[in-house]
Amino acid sequence: VMQACGQPTLNPPVNVLLQDLTVSRIDSVFDQKNEEYKSQDLEVLINEICKNLNGTLLIAKGDSVIFRRTTGLVRFYENKKGYEKWTQAEMNAAKKKASNKLKNDTFYELASISKQFTAAAILKLAEEKKLALTDTLNSIFPELPYKNITIQHLLSHTSGLPEYFDFPVSYFDTSQILTNQHLIEVLSREKPKIQFLPGYNYKYTNTNYALLYSVIEKISGESYEEYVQKNLFLPAGMTQTFFVSQIEDNSNKSIAKGHLRNKEELKRYYLDGTMGDKGIYSTPEELLKWKTAYFTRKKIIPEKLLAKASSKQNFIKGKGVAKEIYGYGLRIEENPHYGKLIYHGGLWRGYQNLMIYRPSDDLFIVFLSNYRNNAHKGKSNDILHIIDGV
């Protein structure tokens, strides 16, 4: 599906000499042609990307969708792992079903793109004066053995907490899905050491945002799902987005299954249950609604807090600037060619996603894929190159 890029048709009047056209009229003709060429170049690029992409691409300026393309399958049914009892004929038949095609309303696990929602919920609680970013983790969860880690440290990945994905399997009961409460119990019981003193380094760690989930529940007195739904999703008009904890309630929807490069479909896993760092299912259109409400119209949190979320917050004591710029649930790049870009990727269990927002022209790019084959890796620069004409 493609929607035309740019302005309405502006053809020169018939039988009018070029020298008789006004400068503004000539400019408008050239502008129109330039937009047509950009549209053609974008279509060629997107056709090339879609040769390998299994997923969805959406490009929008403001509220207008410039391009939207969905291609591929919900489930591959190719790698026999996980389908040991299936015959090849059964797999082929399941693969060819119409319901197995990705659609515009297919849902993807957002993976780490989810972090911006957790950060926004924390900032909402700060706006409501229910917490301060200087509050310590230990003051909220005294059972945790970590001193001087603040909410600010968690938001900006400067806490020093180790990555829970990397904990020994013996820390967990793998017979059941891990919850955020279970994670707090693991941290309290096993007391894994911090990697550096809070504020003295930067290391992107999912543990930070899994703990922020629990902070939201403890401070708000509501479940994470209830608080985020009420304070973020509903004001943004995101009526379809849901959580991994609600996946069975949404089983009637088309939900893409994650696949590795070898096309192995990844089954439910004991680390799938934690949220805050991941665990939200959505579509590109729902994310466009979020972009409009959060960034463009600034209706979720006050502009002052949004400015903090979308600017450098991972300051390092004694060093100043970390190589990577991280705000609150958002990465930031000051690109010499394309200007300031606010973005976040998402990799989890076969999903490979990217969301980019450019404030200068309200440009929004989303890739959501259920096949970790790097089909769109580096392609956002190619898209920006065409749009900017540089």
pLDDT at 36: 82
What residue type is assigned to position 37 of the chain?
Y
Quote the CA–CA distance of 121 and 227 in Å, as a whole number: 8
pLDDT at 9: 36
Taken in order 106, 108, 369, 360, the sign of the CA dihedral is positive
Which residues does residue 341 pair with via DSSP β-bridges, in sequence order? Answer: 333
Quote the CA–CA distance of 108 and 163 in Å, as a whole number: 24
Tell me what percent of the residues of the chain surpass a pLDDT of 70. Answer: 92
Residue 312 has pLDDT above 50, yes or no: yes
- Give 326-370 pLDDT, tens digit per residue: 999 999 999 999 999 999 999 999 999 999 999 999 999 999 999
pLDDT at 82: 82
Quote the CA–CA distance of 81 and 267 in Å, as a whole number: 10
Question: What's the mean pLDDT in 225-243?
Answer: 98
Quote the CA–CA distance of 6 and 386 in Å, as a whole number: 13
Order of strands, edge to edge, in the sheet holding 363-369? 64-71, 55-61, 363-369, 351-358, 339-348, 331-335, 325-326
Judge whether 272 and 124 are in contact, CB under 8 Å.
no
Extended strands (E) in the chain: 55-61, 64-71, 108-109, 242-243, 280-282, 325-326, 331-335, 339-348, 351-358, 363-369
Quote the CA–CA distance of 196 and 331 in Å, as a whole number: 21
pLDDT at 27: 61
CA distances (Å), 92 to each of 100, 251, 254, 259, 261, in order?
11, 22, 19, 17, 19
pLDDT at 166: 97
Least confident of 14-28, 197-211, 232-246, 309-323: 14-28
- Give 171-181 pLDDT, tens digit per residue: 999 999 999 99
Q: CA nearest 356: which of 346, 364, 367, 348? A: 364
How many other C-beta atoms are found inside a 10 Å radius of the C-beta of residue 265?
Answer: 20
Residue 321 — very low, low, confident or very high, per pLDDT cuts 50/70/90? confident
Element (H, E) at 385: helix 379-388
Structure tokens at 117: 């929602």
Between the CA atoms of 219, 223, 227 and 230, what dihedral angle is there, to the nearest 10 degrees? -150
The per-residue pLDDT of the chain, averaged, comes to: 93
Question: What's the mean pLDDT in 184-190?
Answer: 98
- Give 278-293 pLDDT, tens digit per residue: 999 999 999 999 999 9
Quote the CA–CA distance of 303 and 307 in Å, as a whole number: 6
Least confident of 7-16, 139-148, 381-390: 7-16
Residue 193 has pLDDT above 80, yes or no: yes
Residue 319 — very low, low, confident or very high, per pLDDT cuts 50/70/90? confident
CA 201 to chain centre: 24
Question: What's the mean pLDDT in 243-257?
Answer: 97
Residue 84 — very low, low, confident or very high, per pLDDT cuts 50/70/90? confident
Element (H, E) at 98: none
Judge whether 42 and 5 are in contact, CB under 8 Å.
yes
Q: How many helices and strands in the chain, by DSSP H and E? A: 12, 10
b/e map 36-47, b = 16+ CB within 10 Å = eebbebbeebbe
Quote the CA–CA distance of 277 and 290 in Å, as a whole number: 18
Residue 133 has pLDDT above 70, yes or no: yes
Residue 5 has pLDDT above 60, yes or no: no
Residue 16 — very low, low, confident or very high, per pLDDT cuts 50/70/90? low
126 vs 38, residue with greater confidence: 126
Residue 31 — very low, low, confident or very high, per pLDDT cuts 50/70/90? low
pLDDT at 221: 98
Quote the CA–CA distance of 125 and 94 in Å, as a whole number: 46
Q: CA nearest 275: which of 334, 350, 225? A: 225
Q: CA nearest 213: which of 171, 243, 173? A: 243
**What DSSP string runs through 30-83?**
HHHHHHHHHHHHHHHHHHHHTTT--EEEEEEETTEEEEEEEESBS----S-TT-
Least confident of 15-24, 75-84, 366-375: 15-24
Structure tokens at 259: 């696949």
pLDDT at 19: 65
